[in-house]
């Protein structure tokens, strides 16, 4: 394309909305609305070669959400791959600027909705840093965070390995993954009250303690996982068709990973054991014994094996956290500061919904000051000292970080999520150009992007 041609020529408005005034247009700009497709076709027609342009998505079922891939194909060989994102942009980060610090957890859990508790943790740990209370969170509160993070890691990995099998046409793998994920979500609901979008991890700790039968539920949960998780590997790892479709596919070595900022299973498949739970410990991870699975294949097969092995390690962590939680029963699970508490901390009703009758009686019939305090706490929230911090954790897909800026008020000035899926999507051309179209599908599966987290 000519350097003086507007990237959106032929698009309504005929204007490059991405270029600075006077900046030459040097490339094609792809739009989330898809209104550029006529221009893409016209550009290809002018080339007069046998390369065809394929618009894969955004409705394609193999894109882990609504992602658009504009492909140039020579037969079934991918000559060029350009990801188009933005179809699931929800404005979560911007919305968080108009909500209290506590309400931010409710927004960020909806980014990567498969691993939402990890989003909550990254955000809440960043707010904890700004408040200067990271070391004040009780041991039980930290253990409950670790518990639900590992449970949530299982839910995310089960989704990833199940979808990987489904994209190969191996429906049994997906059925087993969904069966076990249902078990995970049932336990999550028993602890947090919700299957997804939990807002369980909050600044200062967690929203609530384990239910009365929480340890018994956890024991049964661990027992079932240890019995059933190996089935996924039995279905796949030695299957010649499965190995033929994944081995050597979506190759990205250590140098490429470092160049593209890849983390998580993508990086560890190169043999580099970088896991923030070990290399930059947070919460109580340094007090538990678990391994960091690695492979040296640098391909989709290695990433699949890593996810299977990481689920086994998550179960190891759960067994140790279970013993710690059993010993700390009855202890505080969040910072004991009246300025940071949320009214629901003052005990809930027997149905788990809303405040207890005692609290309602107190604020509605006994103390005007208590009613005012309740009202101001809900509507205004607490103030966070001015400053900016970055907190990072090891999410299921890699480094999940949150950069939070406070101006000293009761809501974030800025809160930005570093989602590993966003980083990995830009690696797709590197993984797939020169490969077959079917290998591109496996490349997407191997990085497991969740587009809600990519777009935010």
pLDDT tens digit sequence for 391-421: 999 999 999 999 999 998 888 999 998 999 8
- The mean pLDDT value for 277-284 works out to 92
Peptide bond into 58 cis (omega under 30): yes
Q: Which residue has the higher pLDDT, 386 or 380?
A: 386
Which range among 44-53, 115-124, 134-143 shows the weakest confidence by mean pLDDT?
A: 44-53
What backbone torsions phi and psi does residue 374 show, to the nearest 5 degrees? -60, -45
Which range among 29-43, 200-214, 235-249 shows the weakest confidence by mean pLDDT?
A: 29-43
pLDDT band of residue 7 (cuts 50, 70, 90) is very low
Q: Alpha-carbon distance 27 to 97, whole Å?
A: 34
Name the residue among 157, 161, 159, 149 with its Cα closest to residue 119. Answer: 149
Q: Is 303 helix (H, G, I), strand (E, B) or coil?
A: helix
pLDDT band of residue 6 (cuts 50, 70, 90) is very low
- The single-letter DSSP state of residue 354 is S
- The helix or strand, by DSSP H or E, that contains position 71, with its residue range, turns out to be strand 68-74
Q: Alpha-carbon distance 274 to 261, whole Å?
A: 12
Using an 8 Å Cβ cutoff, are 419 and 392 in contact?
Answer: no
Q: Which residue has the higher pLDDT, 368 or 142?
A: 142
pLDDT band of residue 9 (cuts 50, 70, 90) is very low
Helices (H), 330-448: 357-365, 368-380, 420-425, 428-432, 437-447
Q: Is 283 helix (H, G, I), strand (E, B) or coil?
A: coil
- The helix or strand, by DSSP H or E, that contains position 391, with its residue range, turns out to be strand 387-395
Which range among 12-16, 276-280, 281-285, 329-333 shows the weakest confidence by mean pLDDT?
A: 12-16
> What integer best gives the mean pLDDT of the chain?
83
Using an 8 Å Cβ cutoff, are 444 and 426 in contact?
Answer: no
pLDDT for the residue numbered 307: 92
pLDDT tens for each residue of 165-218: 888 888 888 888 889 899 999 999 988 888 888 888 988 888 888 888 889 999
Q: Which two tokens stand for residue 401?
A: 């970080």
Is 134-335+425-455 a CATH 1.10.645.10 domain? yes
pLDDT for the residue numbered 5: 39
Evaluated on CA atoms 278, 283, 287, 292, the torsion sign reads: negative
- The single-letter DSSP state of residue 344 is G
pLDDT tens for each residue of 361-372: 777 777 787 777
Q: Alpha-carbon distance 445 to 171, whole Å?
A: 15
Q: Per-domain residue ranges for the chain?
A: 134-335+425-455, 343-380
Q: Which two tokens stand for residue 69?
A: 């891939």
pLDDT tens for each residue of 287-319: 999 999 999 999 999 999 999 999 999 999 999
Q: Rounded to the nearest 5 degrees, what angle is found at the Cα of 288, between the Cα atoms of 285 and 293? A: 85
């Amino acid at each position: 394309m000519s350097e003086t041609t507007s990237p959106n020529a032929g698009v309504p408005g005929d204007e490059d909305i991405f270029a600075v005034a006077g900046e030459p247009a040097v490339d094609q700009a792809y739009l989330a609305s898809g209104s550029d497709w006529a221009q893409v076709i016209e550009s290809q027609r002018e080339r007069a070669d046998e390369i065809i342009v394929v618009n894969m998505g955004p409705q394609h079922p193999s894109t882990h959400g609504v992602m658009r891939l504009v492909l140039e194909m020579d037969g079934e060989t991918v000559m060029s791959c350009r990801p188009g994102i933005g179809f699931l942009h929800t404005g979560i980060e911007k919305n968080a600027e108009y909500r209290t610090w506590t309400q931010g957890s409710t927004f960020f859990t909806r980014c990567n909705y498969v691993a939402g508790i990890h989003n909550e943790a990254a955000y809440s740990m960043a707010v904890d840093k700004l408040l200067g209370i990271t070391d004040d969170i009780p041991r039980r509160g930290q253990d409950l965070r670790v518990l639900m993070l590992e449970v949530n890691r299982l839910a995310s990995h089960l989704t990833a390995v199940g979808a990987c099998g489904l994209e190969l046409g191996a429906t049994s793998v997906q059925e087993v993954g969904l069966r076990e994920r249902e078990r995970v979500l049932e336990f999550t609901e028993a602890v947090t009250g919700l299957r997804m979008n939990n807002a369980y991890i909050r600044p200062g700790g967690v929203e609530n303690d384990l239910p009365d039968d929480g340890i018994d539920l956890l024991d049964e949960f661990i027992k079932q996982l240890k019995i059933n998780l190996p089935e996924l590997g039995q279905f796949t790892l030695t299957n010649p068709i499965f190995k033929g479709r994944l081995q050597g596919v979506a190759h990205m070595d250590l140098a490429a990973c470092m160049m593209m900022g890849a983390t998580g299973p993508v990086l560890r498949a190169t043999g580099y054991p970088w896991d923030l739970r070990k290399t930059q410990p947070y919460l109580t991870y340094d007090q538990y014994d678990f391994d960091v699975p690695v492979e040296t294949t640098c391909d989709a097969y290695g990433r699949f094996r890593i996810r299977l092995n990481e689920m086994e390690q998550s179960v190891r962590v759960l067994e140790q956290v279970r013993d710690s939680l059993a010993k700390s029963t009855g202890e505080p699970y969040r910072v004991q500061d009246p300025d940071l508490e949320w009214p629901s901390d003052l005990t809930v009703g027997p149905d788990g919904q809303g405040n207890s009758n005692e609290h309602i009686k107190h604020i509605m019939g006994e103390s005007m000051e208590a009613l005012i305090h309740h009202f101001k706490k809900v509507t205004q929230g607490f103030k966070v000292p001015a400053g900016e911090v970055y907190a990072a954790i090891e999410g299921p897909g890699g480094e999940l970080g949150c950069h939070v800026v406070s101006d000293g008020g009761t809501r974030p000035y800025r809160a930005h999520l570093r989602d590993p899926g966003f980083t990995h999507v830009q690696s797709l051309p590197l993984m797939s150009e020169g490969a077959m179209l079917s290998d591109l599908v496996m490349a997407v599966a191997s990085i497991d992007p969740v587009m809600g987290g990519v777009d935010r």
